[in-house]
Amino acid sequence: MKLPGRKRAEPPETASTEKTRLCPQCGTPVSTRATTCAICGYDFAAAVQAKRKVQAAAREEASQNVGRIIAIVVTAIVVLLLVAALYFRNRAEAIAALTPTTTPVPSRTPTPLPTFTPTPTPPFTPTPPPPREYKVQPGDTIFYIADIYQVNYRDILAFNQLSENSVLQVGQTILIPPPTPTPTLTSTPIEATPRISPTPSQIIHIVQAGETLIGIAQRYGVSQSVIMEVNNIQNPDQITAGQSLIIPLGATPTPDLTASPTALPSYGAVRLLQPLNGDRIVGGDKPVLLQWLSVGILRDNETYRVTVERNNSIVLGPVYLKATSLHILPDLFPPPTDPNRALRWAVTIMRQVGVGSDGTPLYERISPDASRMFRWMVAPPTPTLTPVPVP
């Protein structure tokens, strides 16, 4: 039954089938075919183009990464192939080197043996030892250094290109030349008695091992000083075996040709005790004790001879004594202003063989010289303490 006054409701319009989308900026529904938002003006076309550009850039970067990976893989494969090729090549060469090659051996033809000619061996030339080094200490001189190493001071000067007027500096390095090798003496037969020259005014004597100049002079009855003058000898202790000496006779008595030769030395070098070689003794207010070791009981005609030298001149002695020590008095203390403060002392065993025309004993040396060096230094001044006032 129909109610009065009411109209029949009409069916709603059919909804549009057109698709919509929301604006990403304001959220308003917008048709998919719209290019801009009517509310906020958002540009859908520009957003689509930007998205496409981002996607295209991503695809390009992915393509480049794939290309890099492919290049790295290809490079690694090439390197591995090269390494493998080198390995197999070296292995093949090594195997080929180790593989023996059979070479046909020709048949031997007998040949005569050559005549052996000995080759003379060249003489052995010893290698000289290197020079030694010495650091200059306060107060050192060339003479002192030369005496320590028992080397001629002129050789040290020449080796270091110095002169006698050169001043040594503390801490300076001085090269000590190696000792000159002593040439081997060729043994020559020596007659038991001296050969007399045709002239009766002189004879020639060949020095034998162990002989001394004083002994030779007494044997022929000639003064030692005369023999030194004729042969231009400066030091009577510096004669060597094999040396020829002219013995002037003149009006001197004829020598006894049947006399026995001079006895050889019966003692070795004396062993020195103190001071040690190179010692520094400070102060000149007390004597210096020289001491050596006894060689035993000396005979009645045997004695020790002690000499002390400074600047190559004897300042004490020779002193003849039986004791094994000797004091050097402060009188020999070098002046404080003298830089050369080295003293050399030597001990030798002597034997009395006669008496000279003036009544002085005549000695011959029967042992080698034993010598040492020491330096007699000035005592440093004692510092004076200055009292400091207490605040």
Q: One fold for both 132-176 and 197-248? A: yes
CA distance 367 to 271: 11
Reported as a single tens digit per residue, the pLDDT across 318-369 is 999 999 999 999 889 999 888 888 999 999 999 998 887 788 888 888 888 8
**Domain 272-377, architecture per CATH:** Sandwich (2.60)
What is the tens place of the pLDDT at every residue in 281-317?
998 888 999 999 988 888 889 999 999 998 888 899 8
Ramachandran angles phi, psi of 57, nearest 5°: -65, -35
d(C-alpha 35, C-alpha 52), whole Å: 16
What pLDDT is stored for residue 345 in this prediction?
Answer: 93
Say yes or no to pLDDT of 198 above 70.
no
For residues 266 and 250, the model is more confident at: 266
Average pLDDT, stretch 138-145? 79
Choosing among 3.40.718.10, 3.10.350.10, 3.40.309.10, 3.40.50.1820, the CATH entry for 197-248 is 3.10.350.10
Residues in the chain: 391
Percentage of residues of the chain with pLDDT beyond 70:
74
Minimum mean pLDDT range among 32-36, 39-43, 61-65, 118-122: 118-122
pLDDT band at 191 (very low <50, low <70, confident <90, very high): very low
For the chain, what is the mean pLDDT?
78
Report the alpha-carbon distance of residue 148 to residue 156 in Å, rounded.
12
The H or E element that residue 72 is part of is: helix 44-98
Q: What is the mean pLDDT of residues 197-218?
A: 73
Report yes or no on whether pTM surpasses 0.85.
no
Q: What is the pLDDT of residues 93-120, one digit of tens each?
A: 777 766 655 566 566 666 666 665 666 6
Question: In degrees, to the nearest 5, what angle opens at C-alpha 205 toward C-alphas 201 and 209?
Answer: 165
Helix (H, G, I), strand (E, B) or coil at 338: coil
- Domain extents in the chain: 21-94, 132-176, 197-248, 272-377
pLDDT at 199 over 80: no
Q: Among the listed ranges 49-53, 100-104, 249-253, which one has the minimum average pLDDT value?
A: 249-253
- Per the DSSP assignment, residues forming a β-bridge with 192 are none
pLDDT at 383 over 80: no
C-alpha–C-alpha distance, residues 327 and 329, integer Å: 6
Please say if the pLDDT value at position 77 is more than 90. yes
Is CATH 3.10.350.10 what the domain over 132-176 is classified as, yes or no?
yes
Provide the percentage of residues in the chain whose pLDDT is more than 90: 17
What is the average per-residue pLDDT within 67-72?
Answer: 91
The number of C-alpha atoms within 13 Å of 381 and in the hemisphere containing its C-beta is 4
CA-CA distance, 109 to 161, in Å (whole number)?
A: 67
For residue 173, report the phi and psi dihedrals to the nearest 5 degrees. Answer: -90, 120
Q: Tell me what pLDDT residue 124 has.
A: 59
- How do residues 2-18 score in pLDDT, each as one tens digit? 555 555 555 554 444 56
* Other beta carbons less than 10 A from residue 211's beta carbon: 22
pLDDT at 258 over 50: no
Torsion angle of alpha carbons 233, 237, 241, 246, nearest 10°? 30
